[in-house]
Amino acid sequence: MALILDGNSIRDQILKECQPRVAALAAAERPPGLGVILAGDNDASARYVRSKVKACQTLGIYSEQLTPPASVTTAELLEMVECLNQRPEIDGILVQLPLPPQVDTKRVLLAVNPEKDVDGIHPLNVGRLVENTPGPRPCTPAGIMELLKRYGIVVSGRRAVVIGRSDIVGKPMALLLMHQHATVTICHSRTPNLAEVCREADILVAAIGRAALVTADFIKPCAAVIDVGQNRISTQEEVRRIFRDSPEKQAEFARKGSLLVGDVNPLDALEWAGAYTPVPGGVGPLTIAMLMANTVDAAERRLGACST
Ligand code: NAP
């Protein structure tokens, strides 16, 4: 039976470590500030932003939301970003993705001042990540590295497989694992013999967006399996495929009408992995914690009180 890697408890540790740093900045000059742009009316995005703003409030970080309608233009968003770039009390800028389809997302992200890029996705910061020089790292992969470190899971010298090659998760994840001296393979939708490649992994990271695609045949016995996926399933067939005859899950599904599941089959991971991040309660909480940490880092750098 796999050890459950508890993302909530690691999140709490990270936030607790941020607390005195926020207090010190507030006492010396002002609290860190985060500006969030939430464009349109995507329910999931609105939910994520609520969680991020709540985390700011809990920690004493100043936060501000700009909520343009779904019809917003690229030019209007560029103006909002520029305004946040100029505001001295804003240390971090978060543009919640996805932006509405008519918007040139790349242009908007490029307009964010790299020193305020708390998501670590500006090309300058991507360059810093590739070079392994200091800079903000994308929150989800950075959170996973913290989880591995704090659970004492050895990365150096081990085989890691990352499924997914997105700019925000898969690619930075692979780079961070490589910088910690893992031997890394990146897989994607055109990788032949996916299960066979994954079975080589001591550390398997699934960032795919396909409910429970990773099954027992992907998992090397005792591997650490990190499930980044957040997928909502809404049919009896899917519930049965993933949770088999679990009466608890059937009851939860009947009550809620849908279930949140990862990219890894949870029953298979529990049976075969050595350690496993559940969904919910695994990777999700770490992303918000690292956004807070990146915002505090940015404020310390900008106020000249760098602690690193
Ligand atoms: P994405 O941009 O859609 O990328 C998905 C990747 O998976 C792509 O590289 C794609 O390959 C690959 N893929 C798709 N189907 C595949 C298949 N059948 N076999 C192998 N590879 C396949 O997604 P993302 O933004 O990286 O997010 C991935 C998942 O993580 C989503 O469920 C998302 O909701 C979740 N997520 C969670 C958090 C969190 O905080 N927990 C944060 C971010 C994302 P190609 O490149 O060939 O298309």
**Could you tell me the CA-to-CA distances from 131 to 32, 137, 175, 179, 185 in Å, in that order?**
27, 12, 10, 9, 19
Would the pLDDT of 308 be above 80?
A: no
Would the pLDDT of 306 be above 70?
A: no
How far is 151 from 236, CA to CA, in rounded Å?
Answer: 35
| Mutation test residue for ligand 1: of 49, 119, 228, 279, the one with most atoms within 8 Å of CB | 228
Closest CA to 51 of 286, 226, 263: 286
For the residues 170-185, what does the mean pLDDT come to? 98
* Whether the Cβ atoms of residue 307 and residue 300 lie closer than 8 Å to each other: yes
pLDDT band for position 245 (50/70/90)?
confident
Domains of the chain: 29-115 (3.40.50.10860), 139-284 (3.40.50.720)
185: tokens are 């393979």
For the residues 159-173, what does the mean pLDDT come to? 98
Q: Which residues of 256-286 are buried (b: 16+ CB within 10 A; e: fewer)?
A: eeebebbbbbbbbbbebbbbbbbbeebbbbb
Task: Identify the residues whose C-beta falls under 6 Å from ligand 1.
Answer: 140, 163-166, 168-170, 187-191, 194, 207-210, 213, 228-231, 283-284, 287
Q: Which residues of 39-70 are buried (b: 16+ CB within 10 A; e: fewer)?
A: bbebeebeebbeebbebbeebebbbebbebee
271: tokens are 């049976």
Residue ID of nearest Cα to ligand 1 atom 47: 189
| Mutation test residue for ligand 1: of 105, 162, 166, 196, the one with most atoms within 8 Å of CB | 166
Closest CA to 121 of 150, 141, 101: 141
Q: How far is the CA of 228 from the centre of ligand 1 (A)?
A: 8
pLDDT digits 0-9 by tens, 247-298:
999 999 999 999 999 999 999 999 999 999 999 999 999 999 999 999 999 9
* Whether the Cβ atoms of residue 65 and residue 36 lie closer than 8 Å to each other: yes
Q: Which residues, in sequence order, are CB contacts of 124 under 8 Å at separation 6+?
A: 114, 117, 135
Q: How far is the CA of 162 from the centre of ligand 1 (A)?
A: 10
The model's pTM: 0.96
